[in-house]
Amino acid sequence: MSRFFFKFFSKIIILLCFLAPGLGFSSDFNKILNDFKKLGIPKESIGISITKAPTQIYPVKTENFGINQNLPFNPASVVKLVTTRVALDLMGGNHRFETTLTTNGEVINGVLNADVFITGGGDPKLVIEDIEQIVTKLRDSGLNEINGNWIVDDSLFGESEINPSNFDGQPFKPYNVGPNAAMVNFKSSQVIIRNFHKRRVSIMLKPELAGVRIKNNLKKIRGGCNKNLISTRLNNGVLRVFGKFGRKCKKHSFYVSLMNHHQFGFSVFKKAWNKSGGKFTGSVFKGKTPENSKLLVKWKSPRPLIELIKDINSMSNNPMARTLFLNLSARTSKQASIEKSKKVVQKWLSERNFAFPEMIIHNGSGLSREVRITSHNLTSLLIDALGDSNAFDWICTLPMVGLEGTVSKRFKNKPIVGNAWLKTGSLKGVQAYSGYIRTVKKNWFVLTILINDEFAEKAKKTMDSLVEWVYFNK
C-alpha cells in the first residue's frame, strides 16, 4: 500500500471523526459502553477510536466509530508509540548505538597508569552482558591493571539526572529511572532470594555491584511467596534486605535502583573487571572525554533499533523510552534535550500533514500526569504506519495478546490470541490500549481506548470485551 494512499485515507478519517463521531455504533457497541457505566465510569471519561484499515482509494470503503475521539486524555505508556514510531522512521530499524572507552595514557606491560573515559552514545540497552564483553575485549588486548579513574562522559544529553522521587515518591523503583547517555543496565539490579528451607535464605544481586555487601535481615513467616513483604536499604556499601519472607516460597525476585547513573555504571564495570582477574584502583567521576584520547574499545550494540523498540513497546520500559526520546534530538544537536526532542516530534508530524495540537508528550515515556493525546490521533498515527515498507516489523514491536509483554496474561486461551498487537498504558486512574487487530473476517482494524477515571483499574475486562467484539464482528 502506498504512502499516498494512507495520507489520503487519514484525511478522510479526520473528516469522518468531525462530521460523524458516532459513526458505526451498534447495539453491541452501546452495550459495552453501558458495561463501563455499570463500573461507575461515565462516557465522558472514555475516548475510543476504532478504524478499519483501508483496502482501496475510490470509492472509500471503511469504518470508523468511537466516542470522544477528539477529546484529549492521559494515555499513560501508550504515548510510547509516538516516541518509537518517530524514532523508527528517523533512525531506521538497523541503527545500532555505540559506546566508546578511551584513555589519556598508554598501556605498558599490561598496566594503565591513566584514566579511562566512557563516552555514552545514548544506548537505551547497554546491559551487563555487554559490559562483560567489553571487559573481555580489554583483557584480550593485554590490559590487566588500571591505576586511574573511571570518567563518565554523558554530555550527549543536556538534561541533568532527575530526582527519581518526583513522580510517586518511590525513588528505588526501576520504572522511575531517568535517562542518561551512559546508562548501564537501566540503572537497576535484580535482587534474587532463594530459600533452601533448612539453611538460611540466600540473597544475590544481578548484576553484582563492586563495593556492595548484602546483609540478610529477612524474617521467615508461615506461608508462601504471597506473604513476602520485603524492603531494601543501601548505606555505606551495605545493602540491607529486610522484612518478611514466606517459608514455602522457594524463589522470589524484584528489581531495585540503588545509586546514581555514574556510580552504578562504575560498580557494574568494576565488579565484572575484578571477576575477570583484572585490578582497578581508581574512583568514578563525571567529566569530558579529551579530544586527543586514545581508543581502548568501541562497542557497537548487538541489538538493532527495531529490537530495542520491541522491548519498549512490549515491556513498556520507561528508562529505555526516555533515553530513546532524547536520542531524537541527539541526532542533530550537540546536546540533546527534552524540548529539542519535542520539536523533532512536531516537525515529523507536520511533514506527514498531522496536527496534534492537544498533544503533550512530556518525556516520551508516558510516566507523567501531564501527558495528553486524543484517541483519534493515536489511531491515525498507527494507520499512517501501515503505509511504510517496514509496516509489519512495526506492528510486531507491539506485544501479541496472550503471548507477549504486558498483555501476556490477558485473553488467555481465547481465539484472539496471536491476532492482536496492543500497547498498554496504566497509571492510577488511567487505563489505555492502542494497536492492531486482525479480525476473524481477515480485516485489519486499529483501535485506541483511553480511560481516565478513578475506577479505571476496574475497566480491564470491559476493554478486553471491546477488543474481542471487534475481532469477532468486524
**pLDDT tens-digit profile, the chain (474 residues):** 444 444 444 444 444 443 334 344 567 889 999 999 999 999 999 999 999 998 766 665 668 899 999 999 999 999 999 999 999 999 999 999 999 999 999 999 999 999 999 999 999 999 999 999 999 999 999 999 999 999 999 999 998 888 888 888 888 899 999 999 999 999 999 999 999 866 678 999 999 999 999 999 999 999 999 999 999 999 999 999 999 999 999 999 999 999 999 999 999 999 999 999 999 999 999 999 999 999 999 999 999 999 999 999 999 999 999 999 999 999 887 899 999 999 999 999 999 999 999 999 999 999 999 999 999 999 999 999 998 999 999 999 999 999 999 999 999 999 999 999 999 999 999 999 999 999 999 999 999 999 999 999 999 999 999 999 999 988
Distance CA 237, CA 206 (A): 16
- The answer to whether residues 153 and 54 belong to one domain is no
CB proximity list for 421: less than 8 A, separation 6 or greater: 395, 396, 398, 399, 400, 401, 435, 436
Residue 36 CA, chain-centre distance (Å), reads: 29
pTM: 0.92
Residue 179 within any structural domain of the chain? no
Confidence at residue 55, expressed as pLDDT on a 0 to 100 scale = 73
- The answer to whether residues 386 and 290 belong to one domain is no
Phi, psi of 473 (to 5 degrees): -110, -5
Residue 174 within any structural domain of the chain? no
Residue 58 within any structural domain of the chain? yes
- The answer to whether residues 276 and 228 belong to one domain is no
Distance CA 308, CA 322 (A): 12
Residue 212 CA, chain-centre distance (Å), reads: 28
For 380-466, list the strands marked E by DSSP.
Answer: 420-427, 430-438, 444-452
Residue 180 within any structural domain of the chain? no
Confidence at residue 60, expressed as pLDDT on a 0 to 100 scale = 54
Confidence at residue 61, expressed as pLDDT on a 0 to 100 scale = 63
Residue 443 within any structural domain of the chain? yes
Q: For strand 98-103 and strand 116-119, is the pairing parallel, antiparallel, or unpaired?
A: antiparallel
- Out of 300, 326, 360, pick the residue that ends a domain: 300
Residue found by looking up cell 501527558 in the block: 371
Confidence at residue 10, expressed as pLDDT on a 0 to 100 scale = 46
Confidence at residue 229, expressed as pLDDT on a 0 to 100 scale = 96
Q: What is the number of domains present in the chain?
A: 3
- The answer to whether residues 232 and 128 belong to one domain is no
Contact of 267 with 212, CB cutoff 8 Å:
yes
- The answer to whether residues 237 and 137 belong to one domain is no
- Residue 309 is part of a domain; what is its CATH number? 3.40.710.10
- The answer to whether residues 269 and 343 belong to one domain is no
Q: What angle do CA 242, 405, 321 make, to 5 degrees?
A: 85
CB proximity list for 339: less than 8 A, separation 6 or greater: none
- Out of 272, 300, 328, pick the residue that ends a domain: 300
- The answer to whether residues 432 and 464 belong to one domain is yes
- The answer to whether residues 277 and 158 belong to one domain is yes
Residue 175 within any structural domain of the chain? no
Q: With both helix axes pointing from N to C terminus, report the angle between 80-91 and 375-385 in degrees, rounded to the nearest 10.
A: 30
Residue 182 within any structural domain of the chain? no
Residue 171 within any structural domain of the chain? no
HSE (side-chain half, CA atoms, 13 Å) at 70: 12
Confidence at residue 462, expressed as pLDDT on a 0 to 100 scale = 97
DSSP letter, residue 399 = P
- Residue 137 is part of a domain; what is its CATH number? 3.50.80.20
Supply 455's cell numbers. 475506577
- The answer to whether residues 362 and 449 belong to one domain is yes
If we measure between CA atoms, which residue out of 60, 37, 317, 282 comes closest to residue 173?
317
403: left (phi over 0), alpha (psi -120 to 50) or beta: alpha
- The answer to whether residues 104 and 59 belong to one domain is no
| Total length of the chain | 474
- Which residues partner with 101 through β-bridges? 118, 297
- The answer to whether residues 236 and 273 belong to one domain is no
Supply 321's cell numbers. 523510552
- The answer to whether residues 284 and 426 belong to one domain is no
- What is the extent of the structural domain holding 76? 3-94+305-473
